[in-house]
Amino acid sequence: MKSLLNLLKLFIVLLCGMLLAAPTSAATKVALVIGNAAYSSAPLKNSVNDAELIASTLQRLGFDVKLERNVNQKSFQRALRDFGARSKGAELAFFYYAGHGVQEEGENWLVPVGAQIDKPGDISIEAVGVNGVMRELQNSGAKYKVVVLDACRDNPFISAERGSSHRGLARMDAPGGTLVAFATAPGSTARDGDGRNGLYTGELVRYLVDPSLDLKEAFDRAGAAVAQASGGKQLPRKDDGIYDKIYLAGHAPAAGKPEAPQPAAVASIDAALAGQWEGYYRYDANKSVPVKFMLDAAVSGSRFYGKISEPNTFGDKQEAFLYANFEGAITGNTVTFVKTYDGSGGQHHSIQYRGVLDRASGVIRGQWVIQNTTGTFEVKLRK
């Protein structure tokens, strides 16, 4: 009996030792939120406010949040290193950045406070690469990763005079288990906002706390709301490799409403809108001269995007046609998209379109605008 008690004591001691030696488990949900506003050149009004709003929202949703304001490069890098360590084994790691950002040679960079960027070669020295953020998250082993970049504001680091003609941030493909969200479409810029918070962040927090929406639905709803509120001038984008439903605020159907259709069912509603659309656009100043154009459109959820071709009526006459890419969204019967010429005919500018979809006839009618020039358009889906 005595020997049995001694063995039991030894087992308890060994078990306690194993528990003490084992690493403590990571928090289920962790977040790093950074807001930079106090730039010596082109300070921002709302980015710190946006970061504070996101941080408080994530805390309400049960995240272990680290909030950083107006960080320089060294503090930024240390915060990322700490975030990578806190994310070890987490269920979900959430990174949010509001501030200035730039792209150079297809890579995105976040601009710390105090950065001195006078030419493209300074960017990799003075800024913090988004690729570095992605590496920290991938190396952490967190099951799900979210990266939100509200860093598409107009800023002094991307002017042609300084050697770069790129606007906004470059598109990124999300690895498996990761969602990457932009406040506006790649290559475009978003305003800092007139109120206390930017339009994108204000809409995002509204949907993140909705218990009837999963994570991807929340981002889709926020993007559609921003597109509608901005009249198509700001079109948020996301790319994701997450295939599970993740509910940050629990899971409950909307009050008084049945469960929303599954994503596949929702997508099927507008899948028929993919294909070739033919029509014309006119200038308000000269309504008697329609210009034919064709859209080769794809649809993914609320996203409406593809290629456009039209006869060359104003570009370099050595080319018979002009070609463009377009990115937009379908919200109910409202269609918004931005057409950006790809350089054919020497044209690179962007034009904003907003129209109403008549589903019965397969026709979109609406208006377009570029600076002080306006007009109308109409396109019909080819059967």
Q: List the structure tokens of 125.
A: 């020295």
Domain boundaries, the chain: 29-260, 271-381
Nearest C-alpha neighbor of 312 from the set 288, 293, 326: 293
Calculate mean pLDDT across residues 63-86.
Answer: 97
| Alpha-carbon 62 to chain mean position | 23
Q: Which residues of 58-83 are buried (b: 16+ CB within 10 A; e: fewer)?
A: beebebebebbbbbebebbeebbeeb
Three-state helix/strand/coil letters over 63-84 = CEEEEEECCCHHHHHHHHHHHH
Cβ–Cβ < 8 Å for 279, 382: no
**In the chain, % of residues over pLDDT 90:** 41
**Average predicted confidence (pLDDT) for the chain:** 82
Choice between 310 and 265, residue whose per-residue pLDDT is larger: 310
Cβ–Cβ < 8 Å for 80, 136: yes
The pLDDT, as a whole number, for residue 24 is 34
Nearest C-alpha neighbor of 145 from the set 200, 207, 78, 96: 96
pTM of the predicted model as reported, rounded to 2 decimal places: 0.63
The pLDDT, as a whole number, for residue 152 is 66
The answer regarding whether domain 271-381 maps to CATH 2.40.128.120 reads yes
pLDDT in tens, 182-217: 998 766 666 655 678 889 999 999 999 998 889 999
Beta-bridge partners for 178: 145
Query: CB-based burial of residue 205 (10 Å sphere; 0-12 exposed, 13-18 middle, 19+ buried)?
Result: buried
pLDDT in tens, 218-263: 999 998 888 888 887 788 888 888 989 999 987 765 554 444 444 4
Choice between 99 and 172, residue whose per-residue pLDDT is larger: 99
Question: Per CATH, which fold does 29-260 belong to?
Answer: Rossmann fold (3.40.50)
CA separation for the pair 314, 293 (Å, rounded): 14
The pLDDT, as a whole number, for residue 144 is 96
pLDDT in tens, 118-139: 888 899 999 999 999 999 999 9
Cβ–Cβ < 8 Å for 117, 102: yes
- pLDDT band for 3, please (50, 70, 90 cuts): low
Give phi and psi for 228, each to the nearest 5. Answer: -70, -45
Nearest C-alpha neighbor of 321 from the set 310, 308, 329: 310
Radius of gyration of the chain (CA): 25
pLDDT in tens, 306-346: 899 999 988 787 888 898 988 888 877 888 888 888 888 88
CA separation for the pair 10, 318 (Å, rounded): 89
CA separation for the pair 75, 154 (Å, rounded): 24
The pLDDT, as a whole number, for residue 332 is 79
What is the residue whose two structure tokens read 């039209």? Answer: 310
pLDDT at 69 over 70: yes
- The answer to whether 29-260 and 271-381 have equal CATH topology is no
The pLDDT, as a whole number, for residue 55 is 95
- pLDDT band for 292, please (50, 70, 90 cuts): very high
pLDDT at 59 over 80: yes
